[in-house]
């Protein structure tokens, strides 16, 4: 009989925690998992899934007007009902919460509902109940932060966005990262008047510079007002007697402007969730921002305490948390063949239009590789000839001039995430530009442009 209650105890039932617990359970380990909120974590409840569902909803706005050019007559003005969308979204999420529970049950994982803290290298306490484990895996994710400005409590974060009780008439979104542009696009598509305020000079500053610049133009064409090089200095209630999420607020910007909006959404950053976990007392070293420091095996400074996902602040994406969890389980309970690679992680931004990107940006490639060839194209997709929609598509390849390897594939346009996923496999296999050129295109698609760009522009 083992000296511990469990072989693995996972704190957090989000993407990383559930994946690790499930696969460890399936491998025969005795597994416990603590979750203080809803199963599925950020991605299922207040991240990827509700966001994508709401993005689909927001796309209907342009789909209805595109339809006219294709001969469809909409005799009545299409109307949108926020409560229907939110209720249907909530029902789907409740369904996913159940699926996660069944997955854990199916792998014999003992679920402990409640807030977990770490007591020592092998002990966890969940709302006062103590459990011992050979390995403790911290997968507590991250949470959004509000800027420290007067009136910050009058604004909301992405967590609150998914539970608004009505579509705001006017919204100010603060931030230039992917969450800011996605939520701004959703609000715009659903009919809010949106201003996006960002202290930087271009959107999505960690990605290839062309993507953020192209997206900004497209978002502006759709009616989103973009205010760069400005910050929100204060949020004030217009009428002090009126409070609540629907009340009008005055938003004071650092450039002297004062905007009026019912909704002020802060999308300015996320922080790893480690406070109140007892980690430092247990000897676990943290980064300045609270992230757990881990080695290549995801072990913290206390080797029996491991961590994966947003809480280690490497690449905050669901598939990355899943892959890190698989690497941990494979090493602890399997044959160790699943390793984590951070090379060529593809990602999408579900702004309108979408972005899909994998590999190096032009800026990174010039720094890391030196001489590169750049191929770019920009065009009106076939669909928008008859629709008369002015949205354009942008594609870019970054190629190593020496080896001919394709280092980066970038796109702004319809279904960019769906298209770039396949090209990520090609990059993972080390495909060269010559191999891209040898590939026959699928006609007529936008994606075929990626294999027909012949002349470098730089
Ligand atoms: C608005 C938004 C959109 C996003 N869109 C995408 C996207 O399109 N694609 C993508 O790949 N990624 C997206 N992400 C990121 C993705 O959601 C995260 O990278 C992913 O959820 C991280 O998984 P995790 O397991 O590390 O943490 P989480 O999924 O956050 O899970 C952590 C869990 O731990 C629980 N917990 C915390 N502390 C305790 C405790 N002490 N005791 C018990 N339980 C605890 C929490 O309740 C939570 O359920 C998005 C994120 C946001 C906010």
The set of catalytic residues is: 443
Strand, coil or helix: 391: coil
What ligand 1 atom has the least distance to the C-alpha of 39?
A: 49
Which residues' Cβ are closer than 6 Å to ligand 1? Answer: 11-17, 34-37, 41-43, 47-48, 51, 115-116, 139-141, 158, 179, 273, 277, 309-311, 316-319, 321
pTM: 0.97
The residue among 378, 436, 441, 381 whose CA lies nearest residue 408 is 436
Which residues, 6+ apart, have CB-to-CB distance to 110 below 8 Å? 6, 31, 32, 33
Give residue 15 CA to ligand 1 midpoint distance, Å.
6
Q: What is the pLDDT along the chain (458 residues), one digit of tens a residue?
A: 589 999 999 999 999 999 999 999 999 999 999 999 999 999 999 999 999 999 999 999 999 999 999 999 988 889 999 999 999 999 999 999 999 999 999 999 999 999 999 999 999 999 999 999 999 999 999 999 999 999 999 999 999 999 999 999 999 999 999 999 999 999 999 999 999 999 999 999 999 999 999 999 999 999 999 999 999 999 999 876 666 677 899 999 999 999 999 999 999 999 999 999 999 999 999 999 999 999 999 999 999 999 999 999 999 999 999 999 999 999 999 988 889 999 999 999 999 999 999 999 999 999 999 999 999 999 999 999 999 999 999 999 999 999 999 999 999 999 999 999 999 999 999 999 999 999 999 999 999 999 999 999 98
Cβ-contact 332, 24 below 8 angstroms? yes
Residue 274 CA to residue 285 CA, distance in Å, equals 11
Which pLDDT belongs to residue 354?
98
Residue with the smallest CA separation from ligand 1 atom 6 is 48
Strand, coil or helix: 227: strand
Tokens read off for 151: 């009136």
Which pLDDT belongs to residue 239?
77
DSSP of 327-349, one letter per residue? HHHHHHHS-S------TT--EEE
Cβ-contact 370, 360 below 8 angstroms? no
Q: How many CB atoms lie within 10 A of CB 159?
A: 13
Residue 450 CA to residue 441 CA, distance in Å, equals 8
Which pLDDT belongs to residue 243?
64
What ligand 1 atom has the least distance to the C-alpha of 316?
A: 19
Give residue 47 CA to ligand 1 midpoint distance, Å.
7
Q: How many CB atoms lie within 10 A of CB 245?
A: 17
Which pLDDT belongs to residue 241?
65
DSSP code at position 296: T
Residue 247 CA to residue 238 CA, distance in Å, equals 8
Residue 47 CA to residue 387 CA, distance in Å, equals 31
Residue with the smallest CA separation from ligand 1 atom 26 is 309
Which pLDDT belongs to residue 242?
65
Residue 270 to residues 31, 220, 230, 266, 316, Cα–Cα distance (Å): 29, 26, 20, 11, 10
Residue with the smallest CA separation from ligand 1 atom 45 is 12
Which pLDDT belongs to residue 169?
97
Q: What angle do CA 404, 405, 409 make, to 5 degrees?
A: 120
DSSP of 136-172, one letter per residue? EEE---EEE---S-TTGGGSB-HHHHTT-SS--SEEE
Burial pattern 221-236, b for ≥16 Cβ within 10 A else e, equals ebebebbeebbbebbe
Which pLDDT belongs to residue 238?
87
Cβ-contact 425, 359 below 8 angstroms? no
């Amino acid at each position: 009989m083992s000296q511990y209650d469990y072989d693995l105890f996972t704190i957090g039932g989000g993407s990383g925690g559930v994946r690790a617990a499930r696969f460890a359970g399936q491998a025969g380990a005795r597994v416990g998992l603590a979750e203080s909120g809803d199963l599925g974590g950020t991605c299922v409840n207040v991240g990827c899934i509700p966001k994508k569902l709401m993005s689909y909803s927001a796309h209907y706005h342009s789909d209805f007007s595109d339809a006219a050019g294709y001969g469809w007559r909409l005799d009545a003005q299409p109307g949108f009902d926020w409560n229907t969308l939110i209720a249907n979204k909530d029902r789907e999420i409740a369904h996913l919460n159940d699926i996660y529970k069944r997955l854990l049950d199916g792998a014999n994982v003992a679920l402990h509902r409640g807030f977990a803290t770490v007591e020592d290298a092998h002990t966890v306490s969940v709302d006062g109940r103590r459990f011992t484990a050979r390995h403790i895996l911290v997968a507590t994710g991250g949470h959004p932060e509000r800027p420290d400005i007067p009136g910050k409590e009058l604004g909301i974060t992405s967590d609150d966005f998914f539970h608004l009780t009505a579509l705001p008439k006017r919204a100010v979104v603060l931030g230039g990262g992917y969450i800011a542009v996605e939520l701004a696009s959703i609000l715009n598509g659903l009919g809010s008047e949106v201003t996006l305020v960002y202290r930087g000079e271009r959107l999505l500053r960690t990605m290839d510079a062309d993507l953020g610049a192209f997206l900004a133009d497209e978002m502006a064409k759709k009616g989103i007002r973009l205010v760069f090089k400005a910050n929100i200095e204060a949020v004030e209630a217009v009428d002090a007697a009126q409070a609540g999420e629907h009340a009008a607020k005055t938003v004071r910007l650092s450039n002297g402007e004062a905007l009026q909006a019912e909704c002020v959404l802060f999308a300015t950053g996320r922080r790893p969730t480690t406070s109140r976990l007892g980690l430092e007392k247990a000897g676990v070293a943290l980064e300045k921002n609270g992230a757990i420091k881990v080695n290549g095996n995801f072990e913290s400074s206390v080797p029996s305490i491991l961590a994966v996902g947003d809480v280690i602040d490497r690449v905050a994406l669901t598939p990355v948390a899943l892959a890190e969890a698989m690497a941990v389980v494979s090493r602890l309970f399997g044959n160790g063949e699943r390793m984590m690679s951070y090379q060529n992680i593809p990602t999408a931004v579900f702004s309108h239009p979408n972005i899909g990107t994998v590999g190096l940006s032009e800026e990174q490639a010039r720094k890391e590789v030196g001489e590169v060839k750049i191929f770019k194209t920009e065009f009106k997709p076939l669909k928008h000839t008859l629709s008369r929609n002015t949205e354009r598509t942008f594609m870019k390849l970054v190629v190593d001039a020496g080896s001919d390897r394709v280092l980066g594939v970038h796109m702004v346009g319809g279904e960019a995430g769906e298209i770039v996923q396949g090209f990520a496999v090609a990059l993972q296999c080390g495909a060269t530009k010559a191999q891209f050129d040898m590939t026959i295109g699928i006609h007529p698609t936008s994606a075929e442009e990626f294999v027909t760009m012949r002349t470098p522009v730089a």
